[in-house]
Homo-oligomer: A and B are copies of this chain.
Amino acid sequence: MYRSNTCGELRASHIGSEVILSGWVHKLRDKGFVAWVDLRDRYGITQLVFDEERTSKELLEQARELGRETVIQAKGQIIERASKNPNIPTGEIEVLVTELTILNTSLLPPFTIEDDTDGGEDIRMKYRYLDIRRNPVKNNLIFRHKVSMEVRKYLSDQGFIDVETPYLIKSTPEGARDFLVPSRMNEGQFYALPQSPQTFKQLLMVGGMDKYFQIVKCFRDEDLRADRQPEFTQIDCEMAFVEQEDILNTFEGLTKHLLKEIKGVDIQEFPRMTYDDAMHLYGNDKPDIRFGMQFGELNAVAQHKDFNVFNSAELVVGIAVPGASEYTRKEIDALIDWVKRPQVGAKGMVYVKCNEDGSYKSSVDKFYDQDDLAKWAEVTGANPGDLICVLSGDANVTRTQLSALRMELATRLGLRKPNEFAPLWVVDFPLLELDEETGTYHAMHHPFTSPKPGQLELLETNPGAVKANAYDLVLNGNEIGGGSIRIHDKETQATMFKHLGFTPEEAKAQFGFLMDAFQYGAPPHGGIAFGLDRLVSILGGQETIRDFIAFPKNNSGRDVMIDAPAKIDEAQLKELHIKLDL
């Protein structure tokens, strides 16, 4: 037996007991005649004490030699601490050691195993197993476990069945890029790793499973943007005999449950907003509504004067930044520089200071009088003390730019509070999205999403106007879930594939099994998928998903700890009937 107790559980009530503890030497304080060791395991830290009087001299000498991260087993008696530490749960006691065994030695770790480590990202990833010993990473992983357990418990209690779907499936190359797996037994053929279990969960609905969920790894071979992973985890769900309202209610229930159980936050009803409103009010289909600064469209009150920049713009739009009228010229110039950065791309920014005395001072006073500016304040909802920031130009582009500015300012103003939670349903997404480069439409959600009732015909005449039974759940400015009511009849599905540029042969080759299935009594169905990595990071009040993944990959898709991917023996490739083509 390596231990009778963990390092996190001993209290004053245990004083007098004999215990055996095992763990890592976290810290050693050596006063010569007495030494204290902080012994650490997953559960906490317990202080071990060795001294000349009460323990043997040999034991004290042995303790004084202990290096950081040495793995030891200590036997001893729990005694009351002379100087108590109210900051840790075990702070009232210490263990007077009578036996000490070194279970394993340790080299000096390449970074300190402390909450605030001296190790940079790269070295921590290479030695991730040491990084995981640190409280912040360890606690994130335990937090993720708790969220997963609560998700499973809630959905199972609601009658959802966890069904495992296959990982070795078929490539459907029209969407994101698939990871491929050459088949040894089927020469010249390949499996693909699933981008999601989409078609399988739909087949489960055709199969009468009624309510399905799975927490499942998905794979996308994309060029990795910051904080994307080639493998990621989805809470994948599907229900039969449902309308959009049923899905929204069910998964609003799940999200409320998580917020309540995990964060102790009670939220009543989640607000809902159409995609069009989200774009108009926030320039963004995943608005952060923890704070205001809604967009005010100023065309009507800004295009009647001689200011040509505005007059020639498709859209003039502004936001009122609370309490920012006192920004100095220098601060405002910095803001203008910020929107002109290539990442944002605005040509400039007009501003209006709403002074406390009710007057206005703007960068376009030459064109607009106080009455004009008062109207701008009205439209943007600006109060005395606020700063109105106005951008103009092509409507879509300008909205995106102003959205970026809104988020930046909110961050600077401390309005994006990590422990405040503002969920929002965004509904009525467009069915199709125009690819500006190719001029063709592709599915905004995926090809299985059903258009709104009665809008199928619009596909022929005005495809961009067709709305879908598609919805996203947004939390604090992040899309944490998205889904749709699916097509469940073969004809509509075939029509969709046609409009997405599939030939009938391509549609049959890739999705024939699904369209076949639809002919055998497919029920109406729909679902949703949550990004678990993102969800836990937001619930955890943090930004980067990597901190909530035990063994993440870097931006080149590499695992730097195990050094993968790697070169392969010729013999292995031969067996798989492939060769390199470099």
A109 located at the interface, meaning its Cβ lies under 8 Å from any Cβ of chain B in the complex = yes
Find the residue from A219, A518, A572 having the highest chain B CB count within 10 A. A572
Tell me which of B109, B152, B230, B553 contacts A520 (CB under 8 A).
B109
Whether A3 is near chain B, meaning CB under 8 Å from some CB there, is yes
Q: Is A33 an interface residue (CB 8 A)?
A: no
Chain B residues within 8 Å of A164, by CB: 144, 217, 233, 549-550
Do residues B519 and A107 form an inter-chain contact, with CB atoms below 8 A? yes
Query: How far apart are A194's CB and chain B's nearest CB, in angstroms?
Result: 11
Binary CB contact string for chain A from 174 to 195 against chain B (1 if under 8 A, 0 otherwise): 0001111111111111111100
Flag if A169 contacts B550 (CB, 8 Å): no
B168 touches A208 (CB 8 A): no
Q: Check: A105 CB closer than 8 A to any chain B CB.
A: yes
State which residues 125-158 of A face B: CB under 8 Å: 127-133, 138, 141-142, 144-145, 148-149, 152-153, 156
**B168 in contact with A230 (CB, 8 Å):** yes
Q: In the complex, which of the residues B138, B517, B521 contacts A105, with contact meaning CB atoms closer than 8 Å?
A: B521
Chain-B contact segment, one of A199-207, A294-302, A383-391, A471-479:
A199-207
**Contact code string A39-53 (vs B, CB < 8 Å = 1, else 0):** 011110000000000
Which of chain A's residues 362-379 have a Cβ closer than 8 Å to chain B?
A: none
Given contacts A170-B565, A186-B556, A187-B582, contact A203 B129 (CB under 8 A): yes
A118 at the interface (CB under 8 A from B): no
Query: Could you tell me if A580 and B188 are in contact, using CB atoms closer than 8 angstroms?
Result: yes
Chain B CB within 10 A, most for which of A182, A188, A556: A182
A103 contacts the other chain (CB 8 A) = yes
Smallest distance from the beta carbon of A186 to chain B beta carbons, Å?
A: 5
Candidates B144, B210, B564, B580; contact of A577 at CB < 8 Å: B580
Is A231 in contact with chain B by the CB < 8 A criterion?
A: yes
Given contacts A103-B523, A107-B519, contact A208 B167 (CB under 8 A): no
From known contacts A71-B522, A567-B188, A577-B582, infer whether A517 and B181 are also in contact, taking CB-CB under 8 Å: no
Residue interface mask A105-116, B partner, CB < 8 A = 1: 111010000000
Interface size (A, Cβ < 8 Å)? 127
Distance between A180 CB and nearest chain B CB, rounded to angstroms = 6
A564 touches which one: B132, B149, B191 (CB < 8 A)? B191
- A171 and B568 contact, CB distance less than 8 A: yes
Task: Please indicate which of the listed interface residues A106, A178, A210, A581 has the most CB atoms of chain B within 10 Å of its own CB.
Answer: A581
Pair B163/A168 contact, Cβ less than 8 Å: no
How distant is A161 from chain B, measured CB to nearest CB, in Å? Answer: 5
A165 at the B interface (CB under 8 A): yes
Cβ-closest chain B residue relative to A103: B524
| Interchain CB contact (< 8 A) of A488 among B104, B190, B553 | B104
**What is the bound-complex CA distance between A403 and B70, given in angstroms?**
49
Binding site for B on A (CB under 8 A): 1-3, 22, 24, 40-43, 69-71, 103-107, 109, 127-133, 138, 141-142, 144-145, 148-149, 152-153, 156, 161-171, 173, 177-193, 199-200, 203-204, 206-211, 217, 219, 221, 223-224, 230-231, 233, 241-243, 245-246, 488-489, 512-513, 517-524, 549-551, 553, 556-559, 561-569, 572-582
Interface pairs (28), CB distance under 8 Å? A1-B243, A24-B523, A104-B488, A104-B489, A104-B524, A127-B520, A129-B207, A129-B520, A131-B207, A132-B208, A152-B152, A163-B550, A167-B217, A168-B179, A168-B559, A168-B564, A170-B559, A170-B564, A177-B184, A181-B193, A182-B578, A183-B565, A186-B565, A187-B582, A190-B567, A203-B551, A512-B563, A578-B580
3 pairs of A and B residues whose beta carbons are closest in the complex: A132-B207, A106-B521, A170-B564
Given contacts A106-B519, A185-B224, A190-B565, 9 further A-B contacts (CB under 8 A): A2-B241, A133-B208, A149-B162, A164-B233, A171-B572, A173-B569, A180-B572, A186-B557, A186-B565
